[in-house]
Amino acid sequence: MLIVASHNGAIGMRQAKAALEGGGSAMDAVEAGTRLVEANPAEHSVGYNGYPNILGELELDASIMDGRTLNSGAVALLRGYPYAISVARQILERKLPHVLLAGEGAERFARETGAEKRGEMLSDDIRQMWQARLATVGAAQWAASQPADAPLLDLVKLATDPQRVAGTVNFLAIDSAGNICSGVSTSGWAWKYPGRIGDSPIIGAGNYADNRYGACCCMGMGEMAIRAGTARSVVLYMRMGMSLDEAAHTAMRDLHDLGGEYIGHMSLLALDRHGEHIGLASEAGRKYIYQTGDMPQYAEVERGLVDLPRRWAGEPRG
């Protein structure tokens, strides 16, 4: 058994391992680990107290994929329900004939299936951060009054800063039956245009798992992973005969083909069906964590550095 997670998944590692040790499935482990990150008020890129959109509203994206059946569940633009990963899981558990629900439909489904709701999703600190960001781009007045139908296009271009204020949690697991599951949860870019959906809930872009080959989850500028189909690419390259290492590097190299100016950072975590794992990032010093059944504690590993062009005006995240 194996659990691999992005570094911010550390808070959920013990729970994820306990799920597997208690005879739970890879999906139980992924959900259990992710929920602790979603509940963590100090983690501003996932779940409760994440970064809001330009209107100051928190819109969550998440997905989960079962590598045995290729069944998947995903939610986007979910408001008021901190455990987006659990709502995503219910889409496949309840056998809804859909994969992805967004916005009001996702919230309706969450309510109907008894998901935990939370009245206030943002702390005062995060609200102040949002106001401060709008003030730095000359929109403090606007933030206070928020006139309906005010144009947002230019404001979003000025305010969003995905190099510094974004993030995601990735969990991948293999259980004792050899089944693989992958899960991704995020609040997306800070100060994004309302309704923006990133790669995290897009199966094939930010998340993909197939027991026969392996799995991959992404973090970074989701628009890039959507355009390149990154998570599915890694798994498909393994299917075509590449090693995990070659597949992951090739998928990252594919990002060089993307034109346009919104090109920035990208990271991925992947594993193969034998339990080999890899983490790559376009920024130095990034780490991920993993734990096998015989390890009393998770271990940290430095991600391999992959050079990517950077055409986004913002500074890289610290």
d(CA 103, CA 87): 12
- Per DSSP, the three-state class of 71 is coil
Nearer to ligand ASP, 13 or 221 (CB): 221
Binding site for ligand ASP (CB under 6 A): 162, 166-168, 186, 188-189, 198-200, 219-222
Q: Which of 168, 186, 230, 250 is catalytic?
A: 168
Amino acid letter, residue 90? Q
Nearer to ligand ASP, 17 or 192 (CB): 192
Nearer to ligand ASP, 180 or 205 (CB): 205
CB 169 within 8 A of CB 5: yes
Look at residues 210, 229, 242 and name the one whose alpha carbon lies nearest to residue 218: 229
d(CA 106, CA 89): 12
- Per DSSP, the three-state class of 283 is coil
Q: Chain-centre distance of CA 4, in angstroms?
A: 14
Q: How far is the CB of 293 from ligand ASP (least distance, A)?
A: 29
Q: How far is the CB of 20 from ligand ASP (least distance, A)?
A: 25
Q: How far is the CB of 230 from ligand ASP (least distance, A)?
A: 10
Look at residues 8, 30, 36, 6 and name the one whose alpha carbon lies nearest to residue 17: 30
Residue 187's contacts (CB-CB under 8 Å, 6 or more residues apart) are: 44, 45, 46, 47, 50, 51, 52, 58, 59, 60, 61
Active site residue 168: yes
- Per DSSP, the three-state class of 173 is strand
Q: How far is the CB of 16 from ligand ASP (least distance, A)?
A: 20
Q: How far is the CB of 170 from ligand ASP (least distance, A)?
A: 9
Nearer to ligand ASP, 166 or 242 (CB): 166
Nearer to ligand ASP, 19 or 226 (CB): 226
Tell me which residues are annotated as active site.
Answer: 168
